[in-house]
Amino acid sequence: MDCQYGAKKSVITDGIVDDNYDDAHIIQKIRKRINSGDKFYSLEFFPPRTDSGGVNLIARFDRLAIGNPLFIDVTWHPKGNSGGDEVTASLTIASAALNFCGLDSMLHMTCINSTTEDIDKYLRKAKKQGLRNILALRGDVSDSIDESVRHTKELKYASDLVKHIRKEFGNYFGIAVAGYPDGHPECSSYEDDIRRLKEKLDNGGDFVVTQLFFDAETYFKFLRDCRNAGITAPIIPGILPIQGYNSLRHLVQLSKLPVPQRILDTIESIKDNDEAIRKFGIVEATNLCKKLLASDDVPGIHVYTLNREEAVVKLLKRVGLWHEESIYKSLPWRPSANGKRISEDVRPIFWASRPKSYVHRTMMWDEYPNGRWGSSASPAFGELKDYHIFYLKNTSKKDELLKMWGEKLESVEDVYEIFTCFVSGERNKYGYKVDALPWSNDALALETLFIKKSLEYINSKGILTINSQPNVNALPSTHEVFGWGGPNGYVYQKAYLEFFISAERFKTLLEVLPNFPMINYHALDLSESINVSNSDHHQPIAVTWGVFPGREILQPTVVDPTSFSYWKDEAFALWTNQWANLYPEESKSRQVITAAVRNFVLVNMVDNDFIQGGNLWKVLDQLFSLEADKAVY
């Protein structure tokens, strides 16, 4: 499939990363961190039961990604994994974290009550979605287990599953296994359980994640005993911040986990005070983690989140493992963690506020843009059908969106006000904060604060902006707002503005633009009956670049004419799919939106004077002046 920006070949065959490409294995990252002495953390989640729970969990992934976990893992619930695109399937959740949130992801997989055909089907699907790491488990035995399946197949234990994965898939998957510091409750002895752990590793396991425990010495004893038994693999301690009375009781019953009496006594005394339990759980987990992390034998911690966020972030901050994204930002945009996209380091700026949509629409590419100023061939974007997909939905309910975007629209000027309030942070005329727009489900980027007043002004005048960036000239690559790419470099940006404007006003804008030769522009209406540009229709323009020692100049963000045509379809569709459809079919409010869509032109402008900047605002000032003059005469 063709790609753009002169992309080079990546290590992909038949749309799947080559089996010899191992950097996507979590064990490689663990070994690097062990060698550097840099402690890490990872996080465990379970698939929620509802679609809305899936939406919320993906949003939580985005927030937790800011703290840079080494990886996340998702527990195994076979229901839904074998067919369809069920939102709550383990495969779906793990794939979304990997592809859309930029998180290295490990998928739990159990073999109990499964045939080898079932397992191979799951693994092939995981491979197709870019997942490269499996936590191989037997699974919990229950009365519902189909004995005829369990006793007629080879995969009775986790060690069998590990062996099978290695036999059928070679080194494609990195494989983790579970360890039990207190011994597995079904094993005949603690020593026998360690022998079983060694068998799992000897069969192809790469590292160990432990069951949770509550005393540091429990882990250290287990670690010593494992090493004495000849186990050399990394052993990551599993930590649970206690977050509720019932959840702790359920875990104890399920895993037959021994809990120190002092913890049981404390929890019992405050069992009706959820906040007190959470505070106690954070303190206990903090003290435990500090003891563990003080040892050179502990590479990091694995946190059982119970799909909660607040207590986990507090714990990680208290033990010094929470690292804000800006410190490690390799590119201006967060890369997908899918190894298939390993060479990707260039993206069009148009999807800056909808990166998940861009990833979704380019998932089937065989090659990805890679840092060269080549010509732009047809990028062959996927179909525009993402509005039903849970991780691309606006998560707000209809009544919340109506409060933000207007319960009743009388004219296009009401639309101007909503855009202006989104930029300014002021409440709309209904008294509600406008925290999102269809083109951006998040707050404005920090860099937008540098041009906030200008954006407020032009939106109030009907220049409806959906994307922008200020100019930057040789700021340090470690700058807290604009920095990316690591230390000892310099970053640059051309000022960029993208907006909707009425077709009539666009004609007036065309009268002004020739006065500014440093500006490139491109304008399209929905039908492309208007397709006006002063740029090469096939040549991308770099709008963000960086200079680093020992490397060629990096240009991770471009304005690309071919991509703009695809983005235009999405940008216009969002008016209808996420805004107009909030209102009854024959209502005045819907008519206001649909009329605007028919009349709007989408324009992008690049100010090539990245040193001085300011030309974009001068263009629009001249537009407003010329309009005023025409109104007088």
Residues acting as catalytic residues: 44
Pair of tokens at residue 143:
């009365």
Q: Residue 477 in contact with residue 463, Cβ under 8 Å?
A: no
In single-letter form, the type of residue at position 115 comes to T
Pair of tokens at residue 350:
């148009």
Q: How far apart are CA 423 and CA 578, in angstroms?
A: 19
Q: Residue 97 in contact with residue 57, Cβ under 8 Å?
A: no
R_g of the chain computed on alpha carbons: 27
Q: How far apart are CA 73 and CA 587, in angstroms?
A: 47
- In the numeric block, the tokens 């972030």 are attached to 313
The pairing of strands 133-137 and 174-179 is parallel
The stretches of 170-273 forming alpha helices (DSSP H) are 190-202, 216-228, 245-255, 261-269
- In the numeric block, the tokens 């260039």 are attached to 346
* Closest-CA residue to 322 (of 102, 73, 64): 64
Beta-strand ranges (E) seen in 138-191 are 174-179
Pair of tokens at residue 529:
């009956």
For residue 185, the tally of other CB atoms under 10 A from its CB is 12
Q: How far apart are CA 396 and CA 379, in angstroms?
A: 32
Tally DSSP H helices, then E strands, for the chain.
21, 20
Q: How far apart are CA 260 and CA 266, in angstroms?
A: 10
Task: Compute the C-alpha angle 167/169/174, nearest 5°.
Answer: 105
